[in-house]
Amino acid sequence: MRSPFLARLHALASSDRLAVEDDLVRRSFAELHDRALRARATLCEGRPSLDGRRVAILVSPGAAWVEAFLGVVLGGGVALPLSPLYPPGELAWFGDDAGADTLVFSADLAPRAVELAKGRRVVNVETIADGPRDEAASISEIAAIAADATALLLYTSGTTGKPKGAMITHENVAVQAALLREAWGFREDDRLLHALPLHHLHGLGISLLTTLLAASAARLLPRFEATRVWNELADQRVTTFMAVPTMYQKLFECFDAADEATRARWAAGARSLRLATSGSAALPVTLAARWKELTGSIPLERFGMTEIGVGMSNPRDPAARRPGFVGPALPSVESRIVDDAGHDSPTGPGELFIRGPSVFKGYWNRPEATLAAFADDWFKTGDIAERAEDGAIRLLGRTSVDILKSGGYKLSALEIEEALRENPAVAEVAVIGLPDEVWGDRVVAVIVPAAGAEAACSTEAIRAWARDRLAAYKIPRETVLVAALPRNPLGKVVKPELIQSLRARAPAPI
């Protein structure tokens, strides 16, 4: 078998150990594999293979999501996981951009899927595994899937307006999972509590696939909800938990509001975890310290990116973790720090470049963007880093003021500005991120209203208007109205100036 991802999956195909469970079903590896092969046959519709066709997945998190996803990759197709948080128009845009010819959906999301479904074959996830397997075709076809074939397309925001689909190969998936299995010591008896979205690499690759390919089990929650997560931890049936910093923040808000007996139960649950990790955004040292107070160790913080998987990780040994650092590079991940003049700077600060077998193969249908993202074969992360003597990396920010991180989601200020410019009440707009304890970056739209249109540019009016056009987490939390935007002699908005002036004012609500 040429795909190391599928070879690993195949090696687990006869295991009766638990693989995934949700609120309704439990599936062993053998059952999961069998159902994925049935899903494969449904998707292939008698053809030997999906042959690189893109299949959109708009399914609520759970065992059925995993079956559909594995059905696509076992079929030699490319999975396009989508989030129900996107409004219908944006979902259709993803389907079109990826050229997906099939949509797998779950009944609860059918109303969201109407526009996306147009012109595509639709398959209901509830019945996708009901049919027979296609033994004859599957054995030889699956064995022929190449290591560098694209397994999934994950859309990520950049500095160029609309998101780009990162092509993650079968080899990328296998390498990333193997690196983390080793670094974080996954064992067969590990059980992951999974509350992350499945349309990003953190929830899908780093958490779910690492767990499954290590022969451990994943317990999938329908969504992140702090009380639910605490109660799951308190049951002490899970051993690992992966989260973005905002989730830790929300967990503590919920913890502080609970009574003493509940807090004691929850704290015991958190202490029983073998491993709690944090990533996708900087973990404030104060949050790390609170987790340590509760459990005895700070979360394991690591640095990752859709395009590279996890690049740097703090050590598994809690005593060796350094707050504020993301650790040294993982084995096989090569890293460089390059200063403004383009020279290597061993300690930095400068832009972090990454190379190695976990790095993606390019952006779907965007050869120029792919070219621009690399310097020779080094991927340019856009993150500014410095390196300590022991090799540990500290992240200092990003090279572009137009990339924001809110609750672990990467957002493009330009994309949000483009959407807001469609509003006739908006004459000019600049979207910025202001530092925020809960969200990391708080998205603020600074607007010059059209004549007489001030009311239509209020926070409430703009948020209501944007609801059908942008995913909920991209919608600015606040608008600030100004007479003019600060511009440089070339007419470009000077965002650092805006950020500074708005940081200086009293904190705003929401």
Chain residues in the site for ligand AMP (CB under 6 A)? 156, 201, 279-282, 301-306, 326, 381-383, 395, 398, 405, 410
DSSP letter assigned to residue 204: I
Question: Which is it for strands 18-21 and 217-220: parallel, antiparallel or unpaired?
Answer: parallel
Whichever of 76 and 433 has its CB closer to ligand AMP, that residue is 433
Contact 309/179 with Cβ under 8 angstroms? yes
Q: How many CA atoms lie within 13 A of 205 on its CB side?
A: 34
- 49 vs 156, which CB is nearer to ligand MCA? 156
CB of 423 to ligand AMP, least distance (A): 27
User: How far apart, in whole angstroms, are the C-alpha atoms of residue 16 and residue 79?
Assistant: 26
Q: Which does 301 bind (CB under 5 to 8 A by kind): ligand MCA, ligand AMP, none?
A: ligand AMP
Residue 439 interacts with, from ligand MCA, ligand AMP, none (CB under 5-8 Å by kind): ligand MCA
Q: Rounded to the nearest whole angstrom, what is the least distance from the CB of residue 35 to ligand MCA in the complex? A: 26
**DSSP output for 226-255:** HHHHHHHHHHT---EEEE-HHHHHHHHHHH
Q: Work out what residue 203 binds among ligand AMP, ligand MCA, none; the CB cut-off runs from 5 to 8 Å by kind.
A: ligand MCA
- Buried b / exposed e over 346-384, threshold 16 CB at 10 Å, is eebbbbbbbbbbbbbbbbbebeeebeebeeeebbbbbbb
321 binds, among ligand AMP, ligand MCA, none (CB under 5 to 8 A by kind): none
- What helix, strand, coil percent values describe the chain, rounded to 5? 35, 25, 40
* Interaction partner, residue 164 (ligand MCA, ligand AMP, none; CB < 5-8 Å by kind): none
Q: Two tokens at 13?
A: 């195909």
Q: Give the shortest CB-206-to-ligand AMP separation in angstroms.
A: 10
Strands (E), 101-174: 102-105, 121-124, 150-156, 164-169
Residue with smaller CB distance to ligand AMP, 349 or 486: 349
Residue of closest CB approach to ligand MCA: 407
Distances (CA, A) of 337 to 92, 276, 340, 342, 414: 39, 28, 10, 9, 27
Q: What, of ligand MCA, ligand AMP, none, does residue 326 touch, CB below 5 to 8 Å by kind?
A: ligand AMP
CB 487 within 8 A of CB 448: no
CB-wise, 169 or 280, nearer to ligand MCA? 280
248 binds, among ligand AMP, ligand MCA, none (CB under 5 to 8 A by kind): none
Closest separation in Å from C-beta 231 to ligand AMP: 27
Residues that bind ligand MCA (CB under 6 A): 196-197, 200-203, 206, 224, 244, 246-247, 250, 279-280, 304-306, 406-409, 439, 472-473
Burial class (CB in 10 A: 0-12, 13-18, 19+), 461: middle
Phi, psi dihedrals of residue 218, rounded to the nearest 5°: -120, 130
Looking at beta carbons only, is 141 or 307 nearer to ligand MCA?
307
- Partner from ligand MCA, ligand AMP, none contacting 398, C-beta within 5 to 8 A by type: ligand AMP
Of residues 295 and 306, the one with the C-beta less far from ligand AMP? 306
Can you tell me the distance from the alpha carbon of 171 to that of 220, in angstroms, rounded to the nearest whole number?
A: 25
Q: In terms of CB distance, is 38 or 410 closer to ligand MCA? A: 410
